[in-house]
Structure 1
Amino acid sequence: MAKLNAAEKIEVLPAELVQLWSQSDSRQEHYDKFVLYCERQLKHVFPTVDWTSNVWEISAFEPTRSARQLSHASNILFTRRNGLTVKKKVAALDQIPFRPPFLEFVKALVVLGHLGRPKTHGAHMVTMRAFRYLYDVFEDSMLEHIHQLSGVHFDQALMKAINHGEKEATLYRTGEHLSYIASQLNLLTLCSSFEWHNPVPRTYKSGGSLQQPLSGKSTVEQAEQLPKTMYLVHLAALWRHYDELEPADKMTVCMGVMLLCTGLRLDEFCGLHLGCIPSREEFDALPPELTFDGRMGKMLRMSVLARKRFVWDTKIIPASLTDTVFLVVERMKLLSEEARYYSQMLLEQQRWPALNGFNDDEIVLVKDLAEHFGFDKSSNLITQLERYGISRHESSVPKRTSFLIGDIHTGIAQAYRDAIGDVAEGFGPREHKIPIWEVLSLQFKFEHSRGSLKMCPLPLTGTQAQDAFRGRDYVSRLSKDGSRIQSLFERYHFEGLDVDHAGVRTHQFRHLLNTIMQQSVMFSQEDIAKYFLRAGVRDNEFYDHSSPKDLVMDAAKKLHAYQQKFAPQLQANLEEMDEAQVSQLIRRFPLLDPQELMAELDSRGSSHFMNIGRCRHDYTQEPCGKHYACLNKCKHYRRQKGNPSEIKHLMEMKDRAQQQIEVAQFDVDDGFANSHVWLAHHQRFLDGCNAALSIEEDSRYEVGQIVAIFPNGRDSCEAH
């Protein structure tokens, strides 16, 4: 989660809210007006939610649910910590709500935050975790008013999170949300002014700010982010024997192949729809264009609902994978055809196609319906129908239960509409919704577990994905014995291919593709970020798991030759050093270019050196995204006038930026969603290159002088 800068914070505050306040307001009056304003705005955010309720069900509101969670409830719980250990939960009805005025304060910030930018249910509940720690401090300190909060209370809240046992990555996020709450308190002037920033650095495991240690443990952790070769081979075998798979497994195998080819998130895969790619005929008719490798060719573009930003974005499919993606989409169309038909009939005509052949006014005995659906026991079918709110016909008598066909149609249609909420009106952002019956991952919820009863066509769920690729251990409700749902790798066996039961996480495919692209010289960091539908380049490095061992050893040897006379304590022969000793060397002396070494040893300031210059900053902050953040007006970036190496690399980057602008302009002219954002990014990068080169013609600087290019710029080391 990127830290908000001042401009972004101001955008959170609506103009009409500012007009409510006057200089004569007391703190309490100020707070009361703020709460009253947010209570009135609730109808514009969550129209059906009751302000006085301590549980807000928001699943019907954009974009609170993802494609794979359409049937999940999305409750915001304004409740205290339950006092249990990590990941232990209690029922919503058994939780204790915050007490006023903290309760109204939390509700008001939820509404205000959603007014500024709609959030997912998960994002709301992560913020709620921070609120709960702060509430514990509020109670322990016996505070009565919100304006009594200060920075000390936020320190104590973070300490409670530490004592609760939150892991490093989770603790960082808790700190970020506490920082957000503190910034809103100050921005809204609800208390005496104070500054509080998250002191927890973002770990390298979360794409973050600490230099990744070079140790055996970190190498193992990196390897665990990538899928093992045996699973990739097994998946290829499943794809080759696709026609021999069980019907229930075909969709998940399609999912695995698509994720391996494209690196989509699971939510993004579940939201693929009929028009996500052009037809083969439309693709063949497309004119050639400039591809990533600088050649003229055709590029397949896939329309995807980007999970993090909730906008329709365009993903370019490499030419080598075009045929595979076409085949996956074609197979998904066939697999989902019946489910999509059911979905359309239930939503448009309130009819359940499973009852085709019956008249609406026909009264049918349940035993005849059970035979029609293949149920062994009529009682099981009665239970299912009544669960969907369908009442027995008034003519029913003991052992001769009957239902009116029209009632079943209406009941199933209404139950389905209730299950998917506002998605019944279209899937995706408000500006461009598609019918839910066009989603390619639609499957029947109970088709393979409860006879042939085909109800609730829903996209593939996260549970189905986990069961398919990792399996799942569980305790039987009836026998109370331990049992297991076997993964695809356990249920399908191929000669000469033995795999363990650990399975693979679907996100590992994304890590693998990112690592491959990082190792290629063909893609810039912006290309990689766009390919994975990211908002920026910040997380590229986190997904890069290529081993730096050899590069580090070579660089350390070169460094050692220059540092021997300046660091007598490092006279040991580097050829005999092991990895641990090299690691200590690197930590003590960050890798620098020989030309910079003497100056750096004099100042002992840390510096991240690049081919385009250097960026001086505290090493508790992250490096600058491999050049791109530096050239985006980073105040730490500086370069040496007249340095031929820097000039060469800047000119090359400038040329690439100009090519990217030309390509992006074609997409803007063609109206591709969000392409204007990338065009603007390329243009800003080009401006940065020009600014870095401009010192060569500036008479104020002498050749060899180190110049800060953007002395009044921003702190890109923090912002990106």
Structure 2
Amino acid sequence: MEKPADVVRMRAVDLLVSGGFRVNEALTIPEDCEVEEETFENGKAKLDKQGRPVRRYGIRYWPEKGGKPDVKWIPTAMVDVVKRAIRDLRHYSEDARQVARWLEKHPGRAFLAPENDQGPDQLFSTQDLARMFNLERRGGAVWAQSRGLSASVEIDRVFYFSRRDIEAVMLSMQRFPNKYPPLKLSEHLFLVPLNLCHECRATNPCVVCVLTDQQIHDFLAGRSSSRGATRSVFARFGFTELDGNPIRLTSHMFRHWLNTLAQQGGMSEHEIARWFGRKDARHNAEYDHVTGMQKAEEVRRLMENGQMRGGMAAIHTALPPIEREAFREKVIATAHTTNLGLCVTDWSLAPCPDHGSCARCAEHLIIKGDPQQKAEAETMLEEQEWLLARAILEAEEETYGASNHVAHIRSVVEGLRAIVAVHNDPDILDRTIVHLNPAMASRRGQRSLDELIDA
């Protein structure tokens, strides 16, 4: 892959894969984007195993949807990939950047042979146009005709056009950035000459622009229209799916993929939301493609590594080592996220008969320290305590059925208080899985956990 257009777009993909950027966040990264600094822990410089200061590397960017400028810290494993991407992008954008700087110093002018500026009446032949715009020998005449230019003079069957008219056409083709992000044209990293990515048109080095999301889309997925077809990079290099079908990717798929990897790797919902630039951690769910089996595998791994507390963990520890794997497979066959933690019951064949009562469920697990789930538990506890007070009043007035309602709400309140207590317990490490309700009846045919183990 040696063509500048391919290299530039591939480096955009590198950034998407490494940093979880939205595509327009990546394409509006400034040229002066790299940040390196020492990391600190408890107020002291963090050191590696050799005693050297640990440094982190990030990219300045503007979050989409009007967010404030931020730094995207790059995972250590991908730092070299991102550094190469930035280096190559600076190299391939340097000529375009020089053009942009000239345009910014000369507002209202177009970049047309500035080293030989003889005024607005200066004449350029069709051969001059072909040379300056990288066209074939006769392409200059076609360029002028297709843009409605009128020749100022004809000499020996050669048409000449004034600098004034040519610059007017070029300025109509030149695009400058919007107000957001607040970058000048020359400050953009993804600055390229016009038509760099076009398969048929010549690259025009005198007009520059910022790479677009459509050009990234065409690179990854190709495009067909009434005017022809643009082949994806996979089609051009002969790559297909295993079944022979075309490979089709979109730029946003990388963001979904990274979010799923973060979920599988155990990052908290708060950490994921912050790294991906989301204001609300609940938006993570739209990007979480971890299956129930994958979630269950992660819970089993935590149990095996001693990162689980409560009834299930106690029984697991008490079992002979040879029996522990079978126990893990039996009690945690699947898992899905709830607003309070994780449910480890498989409801693929039937809905939950006690929906909304996760706080007192025997198959519900708590993820210690998850900020979103903690906040949800605190809010629900406040609501349920208010309902309990009202239900007690009804029971005191001997309203029919009120005593049963009190018992139900009190059970929920006790479960929520236990959940909040887990989150506030400094002796339990964050990300520890806690099984709170082993004494409650199991949803698996209403058998207890002990009975399930013996089954």
Q: For 1:276-355, what aligned pairs fall within 5 Å after superposition?
A: 276-278=33-35, 283=36, 286-290=37-41, 297-350=54-107, 351-355=109-113
Distance in 1 (CA, whole Å) between partners of 2:55 and 2:384 is 38
Amino acid at match of 1:319: T
Counterpart of 1:585 in structure 2 is 350
Q: Does 1:265 align with 2:12?
A: no
SS in 2 for 1:454: strand
Deviation at 1:345, TM superposition (A): 1.6
Match of 1:401 among 135, 156, 159: 159
Match of 2:277 among 515, 533, 538: 533
Deviations, residues 482-540 of structure 1 (Å, cap 9, x unaligned) = x532111111247998963131111111011111111223x322111110011110211
Deviation at 1:625, TM superposition (A): 4.4
Match of 1:369 among 117, 129, 153: 129
- Contact 2:422–2:428 (Cα < 8 Å) also in 1: no
Deviation at 1:258, TM superposition (A): 0.9
Amino acid at match of 1:436: L
Q: How many residues align?
A: 350
Judged with a 3 Å threshold, the aligned counterparts in structure 2 of structure 1 residues 364 and 582 are, in CA distance, closer, same or farther, namely closer
Q: Does 1:437 align with 2:186?
A: yes
Match of 2:117 among 335, 348, 359: 359
SS in 1 for 2:282: coil
- Contact 2:234–2:240 (Cα < 8 Å) also in 1: no
Judged with a 3 Å threshold, the aligned counterparts in structure 2 of structure 1 residues 492 and 637 are, in CA distance, closer, same or farther, namely farther
Counterpart of 1:61 in structure 2 is none
SS in 2 for 1:340: helix
Deviation at 1:412, TM superposition (A): 2.4
Match of 2:254 among 497, 509, 514: 509
Deviations, residues 449-499 of structure 1 (Å, cap 9, x unaligned) = 4324335422222221111101122233xxxxxx53211111124799896
In the superposition, the TM-score normalised over structure 1's length comes to: 0.42
Amino acid at match of 2:281: V
Deviation at 1:590, TM superposition (A): 4.1
Q: Does 1:596 align with 2:341?
A: no
- Contact 2:240–2:247 (Cα < 8 Å) also in 1: no
Distance in 1 (CA, whole Å) between partners of 2:166 and 2:211 is 25
SS in 2 for 1:584: coil
Q: Does 1:543 align with 2:287?
A: yes
Distance in 2 (CA, whole Å) between partners of 1:553 and 1:325 is 31
Amino acid at match of 1:515: T
Judged with a 3 Å threshold, the aligned counterparts in structure 2 of structure 1 residues 290 and 335 are, in CA distance, closer, same or farther, namely farther
Match of 1:473 among 214, 224, 227: 224
- Contact 1:340–1:442 (Cα < 8 Å) also in 2: yes
Q: Which runs of 5+ in 2 are unaligned?
A: 48-53, 300-310, 313-329, 336-344, 386-412, 432-455
Judged with a 3 Å threshold, the aligned counterparts in structure 2 of structure 1 residues 462 and 499 are, in CA distance, closer, same or farther, namely farther
Match of 2:145 among 383, 387, 392: 383
- Contact 1:366–1:378 (Cα < 8 Å) also in 2: yes
Deviation at 1:271, TM superposition (A): 0.4
- Contact 1:612–1:647 (Cα < 8 Å) also in 2: no
Say what the alpha-carbon RMSD is for the aligned residues: 4.4
- Contact 1:271–1:439 (Cα < 8 Å) also in 2: yes
Amino acid at match of 2:143: L
Q: For 1:59-98, what aligned pairs fall within 5 Å after superposition?
A: none
SS in 1 for 2:260: helix
Counterpart of 2:211 in structure 1 is 460
Deviation at 1:319, TM superposition (A): 1.9
Q: For 1:117-128, what aligned pairs fall within 5 Å after superposition?
A: none
Distance in 2 (CA, whole Å) between partners of 1:588 and 1:275 is 57
Distance in 1 (CA, whole Å) between partners of 2:82 and 2:75 is 10
Distance in 2 (CA, whole Å) between partners of 1:554 and 1:337 is 47
- Contact 1:445–1:456 (Cα < 8 Å) also in 2: yes
Distance in 1 (CA, whole Å) between partners of 2:295 and 2:8 is 42
Distance in 2 (CA, whole Å) between partners of 1:519 and 1:401 is 66
Match of 1:256 among 13, 19, 29: 13
SS in 1 for 2:69: strand
Judged with a 3 Å threshold, the aligned counterparts in structure 2 of structure 1 residues 612 and 288 are, in CA distance, closer, same or farther, namely closer
- Contact 1:442–1:460 (Cα < 8 Å) also in 2: yes
Give the greater-gyration-radius structure (CA): 2
SS in 2 for 1:306: coil
Distance in 2 (CA, whole Å) between partners of 1:306 and 1:654 is 35
- Contact 1:630–1:637 (Cα < 8 Å) also in 2: no
Judged with a 3 Å threshold, the aligned counterparts in structure 2 of structure 1 residues 550 and 371 are, in CA distance, closer, same or farther, namely closer
In the superposition, the TM-score normalised over structure 2's length comes to: 0.64
Distance in 2 (CA, whole Å) between partners of 1:261 and 1:587 is 39
Judged with a 3 Å threshold, the aligned counterparts in structure 2 of structure 1 residues 643 and 467 are, in CA distance, closer, same or farther, namely closer
Q: Does 1:486 align with 2:260?
A: no
- Contact 1:446–1:455 (Cα < 8 Å) also in 2: no
Distance in 2 (CA, whole Å) between partners of 1:252 and 1:586 is 46
Q: Does 1:627 align with 2:374?
A: yes
Distance in 1 (CA, whole Å) between partners of 2:69 and 2:216 is 23
Distance in 2 (CA, whole Å) between partners of 1:250 and 1:385 is 31
Deviation at 1:371, TM superposition (A): 4.4
Counterpart of 2:366 in structure 1 is 611
Counterpart of 2:318 in structure 1 is none
- Contact 2:39–2:46 (Cα < 8 Å) also in 1: no
Deviations, residues 257-289 of structure 1 (Å, cap 9, x unaligned) = 1101111001101101112213xxxx3xx3332
Judged with a 3 Å threshold, the aligned counterparts in structure 2 of structure 1 residues 581 and 369 are, in CA distance, closer, same or farther, namely closer
Deviation at 1:632, TM superposition (A): 6.6
- Contact 1:631–1:637 (Cα < 8 Å) also in 2: no
Judged with a 3 Å threshold, the aligned counterparts in structure 2 of structure 1 residues 596 and 438 are, in CA distance, closer, same or farther, namely same
Distance in 2 (CA, whole Å) between partners of 1:248 and 1:396 is 37
- Contact 2:374–2:423 (Cα < 8 Å) also in 1: no
Amino acid at match of 1:265: R
Greater strand share, structure number = 2
- Contact 2:377–2:416 (Cα < 8 Å) also in 1: no
Distance in 2 (CA, whole Å) between partners of 1:263 and 1:554 is 23
Judged with a 3 Å threshold, the aligned counterparts in structure 2 of structure 1 residues 397 and 636 are, in CA distance, closer, same or farther, namely farther
SS in 2 for 1:458: strand
- Contact 2:126–2:158 (Cα < 8 Å) also in 1: yes
